[in-house]
Structure 1
């Protein structure tokens, strides 16, 4: 008897995370999203697939032209640093951030610089009117005759604007406000965002047109919309900053054309946004003499070393549960550091409030800042100031040991440039720059002893 052909069952895939199911379910068990599972259709055997004509001819890799993939500088140096030297033709960049952080202001600066140095730019807004964007551009001094502006929220209208203007850079603000008439659902929904993003990506690749998309974020800071959006685009940037600070950081989350861990620094002002090529001074307090409860460390953001200052205040309290307030630091890591300081460093924090914070709105999450935190708290509790020209580096373990961190030489070279000539470092720190006096400590108790913090009050 001839073999019977077994009927293929339809497959289902989650639009959020791409997880596949054998049958339809209302909630994805992988990413816990509701209503995101869609039918893909019956699986087609390989024998039934008809071979099509190739879209491009395969050539030896050495003969592939690389000129079309070279990056073009946007004119904003800090953005070019994060992008890996500039924006590549045909690349799609997704820039996400909280409302009011300065995404639109930065992209207006990008459009102005691009129009001044490269060619025509087209800025399409779906969140504001063209007049509102025009007023902001005038206030920040970003007006140029090669900058084109329109308010659009339909994908077909966006394509029509591109055909008419013929820009060399396209900016969409934002992707969540765009919609397509060919897909059901409201703007910002899963299906709409996926369809709009796919259409804009196809436009970018077909015409070799760089496209920058503005994206919204959720409450936890992740990019809003389907997770597949981050997989489709070439570059994902996170624009972040504190509302009470003028400092803004642009972090690379994904980059197909360069390093994905680079960071750019900006300062948001009333007259616009400017890059900060040397941000270390923003995170240090200005004083003529040393003050107890402060310690300076050096962190590395991407490939850039930056100095940061940790401040601590220890005060007696009559409350049964002393307070532990944290600003700019990881609260869980601070709790661990304080426990190690009490147990291994013999610093009494019983019935005492401990407040720790950073300067300038900096967020210190790197383990290299552990030693600075515990020394700042010990300095505040003992009321003994650390030397004003001292930086401290090291990760503190639960046993009180001080562990080595990466790039000690590069960190201390940056500290020396800003006038810090002493460094408390873990053992085996490697070669250090000339002009830096190294103080080596194997454990926390030794570090306190070297700095004279074991003398008590």
Structure 2
């Protein structure tokens, strides 16, 4: 019997080492290196009935590759197709992560039942029984006569049955419970997750099967398992949503076939997840009586603008070190913007607690929210209400300048569609032809923006 090869892999960054050590040299994390067994190709071929996952390699030129051989097909849900880059690509491996109860299995069951009307679909469940999946489909009112179900956790058996039924779509729920026979570790370990994901991804690409992998998340909110799990798949998505909110957001963190950071919005109902075609409307459910410290900003999510409300609260601090709290925004950037406001706006907040929040649980990562955040902070500090029909966006530099942001005209047009009458934007983002129905105020300095209020 051939001796099994072992390797030691960091579960955070995926770096391999020839022997165990306490700290990873790349990510500097402690106690994240664990042992896994490298499966031999001979045993994998024997367990899968002759299929080893290896094909004859062929060298080709770029112009000889047929780009029409793998057309996209729609999933029946426009928000999901948007996140995927326009539809599902045959032979692609897609990973959907999320906290327990977010709706991952519900979404995929809805998609598979919808797709089973036109294509061959196979749903593989490793955590739930077939009766539990059937009960969920009955509760959601889904068609149950076309979708094929399989309760199995052995990767070789799954691929062998898939070769017989030849599905065009597959769901693996979840990758953390899958196991390869040649790896002696327990399911969910670094070695099992890595080998199972690599084997399933290779099988999907060579058999041209669109495969969805369901992944768990850690307490920190990141995908569980080794980092190489995100490297071997084509698309990585996260389904997020607060436990007390009925809305769910699907965001792509990696996509080889479309835009990154695309956002899809769904609402959880009694009949499962429903698409939200106009997400700006749900994030703009503002009160009739406008309060100080509230303003609407326009952020760019993937390929479309999104209007969200940002709120700020400034209060006198009883402590020597005032608090700086940001929810949905970057904490360090809030401190930096307050320093810019002091230096170039003559507004001092050394003795004030500052709290900032993005309404609706949206996480804003781009710098276009800088100007709106500062205007909301000044509004709360001076206890003056901003106009309800006012929007703002723009990046604020350390020298107090207002820098332009991408897709400025599209942002202003989206605000005009929702009835906003005034917009404070960077001077370089002012359209030459203007936008009908909205007054555009272009500013180049932070002092100009404060004067425009």
Question: Shorter-chain TM-score category?
Answer: 0.7 to 0.9
SS of 1:254's equivalent? strand
Q: Given the alignment of the two structures, is residue 147 of structure 1 paired with residue 147 of structure 2, yes or no?
A: yes
Q: Is the contact between residue 296 and residue 307 of structure 1 (CA under 8 Å) also seen in structure 2?
A: yes
Are residues 447 and 145 of structure 1, via their aligned partners in 2, closer, same or farther at CA, if it must alter by over 3 Å? same
Farther off after superposition, 148-157 or 178-187: 148-157
Q: Which whole-Å CA distance do the structure 1 matches of 2:440 and 2:267 have between them? A: 34
- The aligned runs of 1:195-214 (5 Å cut-off) are 195-214=195-214
1:98-147 Cα offsets, whole Å, 9 max, x none, are 2222111111111111113x223211111122222222222222233111
Q: Which whole-Å CA distance do the structure 2 matches of 1:181 and 1:68 have between them? A: 34
1:402-435 Cα offsets, whole Å, 9 max, x none, are 2221211111011111111211112222424333
Q: Which whole-Å CA distance do the structure 2 matches of 1:259 and 1:321 have between them? A: 41
Are residues 225 and 351 of structure 1, via their aligned partners in 2, closer, same or farther at CA, if it must alter by over 3 Å? same
Which of 30, 55, 58 does residue 26 from structure 2 map onto? 30
Q: Which whole-Å CA distance do the structure 1 matches of 2:39 and 2:197 have between them? A: 19
Q: Is the contact between residue 123 and residue 170 of structure 2 (CA under 8 Å) also seen in structure 1?
A: yes
Q: Given the alignment of the two structures, is residue 374 of structure 1 paired with residue 370 of structure 2, yes or no?
A: no
Q: Is the contact between residue 10 and residue 33 of structure 2 (CA under 8 Å) also seen in structure 1?
A: no
Q: Which whole-Å CA distance do the structure 2 matches of 1:38 and 1:108 have between them? A: 33
Report how many residues are paired. Answer: 429
Farther off after superposition, 179-188 or 315-324: 315-324
Backbone CA RMSD of aligned residues: 2.8
Q: Which whole-Å CA distance do the structure 1 matches of 2:323 and 2:228 have between them? A: 42
Q: Is the contact between residue 112 and residue 147 of structure 2 (CA under 8 Å) also seen in structure 1?
A: yes
Q: Which whole-Å CA distance do the structure 2 matches of 1:182 and 1:338 have between them? A: 57
Q: Is the contact between residue 26 and residue 35 of structure 1 (CA under 8 Å) also seen in structure 2?
A: no
Q: Given the alignment of the two structures, is residue 450 of structure 1 paired with residue 452 of structure 2, yes or no?
A: yes
1:364-404 Cα offsets, whole Å, 9 max, x none, are 23211111111111111212211221111111223322222
Q: Which whole-Å CA distance do the structure 2 matches of 1:90 and 1:169 have between them? A: 9
Query: Which one has the largest radius of gyration?
Result: 1
Are residues 402 and 59 of structure 1, via their aligned partners in 2, closer, same or farther at CA, if it must alter by over 3 Å? closer
Q: What corresponds to 1:225 in structure 2?
A: 225
SS of 1:68's equivalent? coil
> Structure 1: where are the runs of 5+ without partners?
1-9, 42-52, 452-457
Q: Which whole-Å CA distance do the structure 2 matches of 1:253 and 1:326 have between them? A: 22
Farther off after superposition, 61-70 or 235-244: 61-70
1:289-340 Cα offsets, whole Å, 9 max, x none, are 5432111110001111001111122334544444444322222222222333
Q: Which whole-Å CA distance do the structure 2 matches of 1:267 and 1:68 have between them? A: 35
Q: Is the contact between residue 292 and residue 384 of structure 1 (CA under 8 Å) also seen in structure 2?
A: yes
Are residues 144 and 11 of structure 1, via their aligned partners in 2, closer, same or farther at CA, if it must alter by over 3 Å? closer
Q: State the shift of 1:167 in Å.
A: 2.5
SS of 2:406's equivalent? coil
Q: What corresponds to 2:297 in structure 1?
A: 297
SS of 2:69's equivalent? helix
TM (norm. structure 1) is 0.85
Q: Is the contact between residue 175 and residue 215 of structure 2 (CA under 8 Å) also seen in structure 1?
A: yes
Q: What corresponds to 1:435 in structure 2?
A: 437
Q: State the shift of 1:37 in Å.
A: 8.3
- The aligned runs of 1:59-78 (5 Å cut-off) are 61-78=62-79
Q: Which whole-Å CA distance do the structure 2 matches of 1:328 and 1:261 have between them? A: 15
Q: Which whole-Å CA distance do the structure 1 matches of 2:344 and 2:63 have between them? A: 60
Q: Is the contact between residue 235 and residue 256 of structure 1 (CA under 8 Å) also seen in structure 2?
A: yes
TM (norm. structure 2) is 0.86
Q: What corresponds to 2:402 in structure 1?
A: 402
Q: Which whole-Å CA distance do the structure 1 matches of 2:63 and 2:38 have between them? A: 42
Q: Which whole-Å CA distance do the structure 2 matches of 1:120 and 1:38 have between them? A: 35
Q: Which whole-Å CA distance do the structure 2 matches of 1:192 and 1:348 have between them? A: 55
